[in-house]
Structure 1
Amino acid sequence: MGDGIDTLGACLAVKRELLEELVMLLDREREMIVRLNAAGLEEERANKADIIARLEGAKTDCKKALADAVQEAGLPCDATLSHLAAAVEPRRGATLSAARARIVELIDTLNRSNRRNRDLLYGSLRMVNRSLEFYNKSLGCADTYCGSGRMVSRVSGGRLLSGEI
């Protein structure tokens, strides 16, 4: 019962390495966002797409290796990695459990990093949009009231007013 478990362990190691690489890439992406480096951000996006494609391949390999190891261990075909780890000898089970725990930890880290990067980007875009809206309203074609009290659209030369009514 060694071959299937060894293959599964190797597949999980590849998946772990790719996830670790993706975590580092998201950290670099965050640096590019903070530095407003659009070219660097695009390069990191391309690298991220490559790693994600490789992760898809690793995911397929892991599923096949898990199915083979589960069959080899005589477990039902819907058994999970946790079930397999509990069914094999303790040393190998501990190795599989540790690999699973590390992958779950990395996925959690990836989710947090993605949320952080998303919030940075959306916050920056909101600030830019608000600034543009402010300048559009104050430096030109703004909606304003005419002498008769009607709203007139797109009158050039509108300006900010201060004082009391």
Structure 2
Amino acid sequence: MASTRNHNRYDNRRAQVRQAYYEDGNAARRLEEVPVRPKKKLSKTAQKNRAKSTNMGKGYIAFLILVCALATGACVHYIKLTALVTAQKSAVDAKELELNELKSDNDAYYSEIMTNVDLEEIRDRAINELGMEYAEEDQIKYYTPGNNNYVRQYQDVPEK
């Protein structure tokens, strides 16, 4: 019987040594890695303080609801503004596309008109049919503008 006791002590000691050298991941995990601690008796003031710290009053809950509502409202407002900006950008892009199409149409019409105009025919018709002549040197009046890029005419230009 004494040999059985010694043998059990040896097995127990051997199991403790194995547990001491256990490395995580080299075998199946142990189910109880965190030791269970016995609960201590707390004083009444400590129990009251713990209960008070875990308790949420009505005012605190109302404050949290108000903060959540404000945050939600701010997020909704931000999303609406983002959608508005996106819609305006797409409207501007559509207008720019329309402007580019109109410019290209205008350029095409201008090119078509300019190819159909024969300046030599216009000069011949003006001189022969309408009796127009080139201006002589004494009929030409030169004007040098000031700082402005435009000229205002306050009265008619005299004939002679």
Q: TM-score, normalised by structure 2?
A: 0.31
Write 1 or 2 for the structure with the bigger share of strand: 1
Q: Which has the higher contact order (CA 8 A, sep 6+)?
A: 1
Q: TM-score, normalised by structure 1?
A: 0.30
